[in-house]
Structures are given as C-alpha cells and as structure tokens.
Amino acid sequence: MKIIPEILLEEYKKNFPLGLEEKFEALCDAEISNNSFSFYTSVASVFSSKIEGEEIELNSYINHKRFGIEFLPDYTKKIDDLYDAYSFAKSNFLDKKNISEAHKLLSKNIVAKQLQGKHRIQNMFITTDDGKIEYVATIPQEVNAEMNKFYEDVAHLLKMKLSFIEVFYFASFLHLVFVKIHPWNDGNGRTGRLLEKWFLSEKLGEKAWFIQSEKNYYQNHQLYYNNLRILGFEYESLDYSKALSFLKMLPQSLFL
C-alpha cells in the first residue's frame, strides 16, 4: 500500500462489533423508494450536507425530491447536486476519472466551474469558527503526488480479496486519508463520505448504499470532528496510530 495505513488492522478486528455482517445482510431499501427516487440517497445527501452547515431538513427534502414540492432553489440545490453525485457513483466504477466526475457534480454550486474535479493549487487551512487554524492540509506542490498514491491504493484494494471486516477498515481509512489530503478547493468532506460508501458498494454490493453513515456522522458530528483533529495539526506529521476512534464510527452506523 502506498498511502493507506494497515497499522491498526489487527486491533480494529479485535474491536469490531459482533453480528455486524448479519445486520448488513438484513439491510433493505425503504418502501418510499422507487425507480426515480432513493430514500437512502436522500438521507446521505441531506446529512452529509448538514455536516457542512447546510440548513436542510430530511422531510422537506423528501417532499421536494419524491413528491415534487417546490422550495427556493438555494434551499435544495447543493443537496440535489450531492444526490446526483451519489446516483452517479451507484452506476460507475470507483476510479480516478469517476472520482473527479463525482466532484464536478457535487460541487456545481460550491466552487467555480474551472475548479470542479480539479486538484487545488493553493494552500489549504482548516479553521475554527473564531478564525483559528486547526489543520494545515497537504502543500499544493504535493497534492498530485499524494492523490496518485491514493488512487493506486484504491485500485489495489478493489482487486484484493478482503474479509467483511477488512472492507470496513479500508473504507474508513479511504475516507480519512482523502479528507486529510484535502485535494479539492471545497467539497472534500462530502467527497470523502461518498468515497467511503462507494468503496463499500464495490466490495459488498448495493446494500452498502443503505448504510446511514452520513446520518451517524452528523448525529455525532463533534466526535467526528474530534476524531479527525487528534491525528495532528499538519498533514506531514499526521499520526494514523491515533485513528482507531475514527475507524470505529462507520460500523456503528449499522445500529441506526
């Protein structure tokens, strides 16, 4: 592996909840879904957007998307874009080209057109609400190199035969490492959460799209952010040995 750490895999296996594979196999689509509407894609899009500060309620979005009730465009457009990205991922292979295409879709109303699907060439700092820098992402000169390692690992993992537990481990780490590289000008969190589920679906099938991971992360968003912060202040000095608390969050999504 070029960039995805395996250092916590054995400890992760020891801490993996019992009976989770059975819970996964019991997942099924919602009754309200049909050929043109997915309830769980709506859940994913709404709660992933809410993590980023969007003021949107699930019931309102379902009324908009499923039943055609109109709202002001600003209320639904970013969530619609993310819904389109999830829909795209469901029918396309997880690779470098399609990750870029997914970002183009989800960032239509977030970044300028020339930046959609393109790695950033500027410095990237994550700041708190009061303006303090809490994380310094990969320097722009290294973004392409780090992302090429990431894409190589994705391709390698997709070819590997992995156990159910290993699939969850690597899905979480893909999410985590992607967010820490922070390759886009914006839309990194949304993409990271999509990639996690996209990888799960490639390895475990369509039931993966019914996991409410984005809802779990939103309901525990302070823990989610804390688990991201504890790895370190700068990309170059991240300590992935501290990532177990983050990795444990995805399996808990199956208990919702």
Token pair listed for 83: 């819904």
198 vs 227: CA distance, rounded Å:
22
Contact 63, 247 (CB under 8 A): no
Size (the chain), residues: 256
Residue at token pair 């930046």: 115
Confidence check: pLDDT of 130 > 90: no
Percent above pLDDT 70 for the chain? 100
Contact 33, 39 (CB under 8 A): yes
Task: For residues 20-25, give the mean pLDDT.
Answer: 98
The contacts of residue 102 (CB under 8 Å, 6+ apart) are 85, 88, 89, 191, 194, 198
- For 51-70, the pLDDT digits (tens) are 999 999 999 999 999 999 99
C-alpha 32: how far from its chain's center?
Answer: 24
- For 151-160, the pLDDT digits (tens) are 999 999 999 9
Separation in Å, CA 44 to CA 3, 82, 191: 27, 9, 12
- For 82-100, the pLDDT digits (tens) are 999 999 999 999 999 999 9
User: Is the CATH code 3.30.300.170 the one for domain 9-255?
Assistant: no
23 vs 18: CA distance, rounded Å:
10
- For 162-197, the pLDDT digits (tens) are 999 999 999 999 999 999 999 999 999 999 999 999
Please provide the average confidence, as pLDDT, over all residues in the chain. 97
Token pair listed for 210: 């019914």
Element (H, E) at 91: none
Percent above pLDDT 90 for the chain? 98
Question: Per-domain residue ranges for the chain?
Answer: 9-255
Task: For residues 219-243, give the mean pLDDT.
Answer: 97
Confidence check: pLDDT of 38 > 90: yes
Contact 23, 255 (CB under 8 A): yes
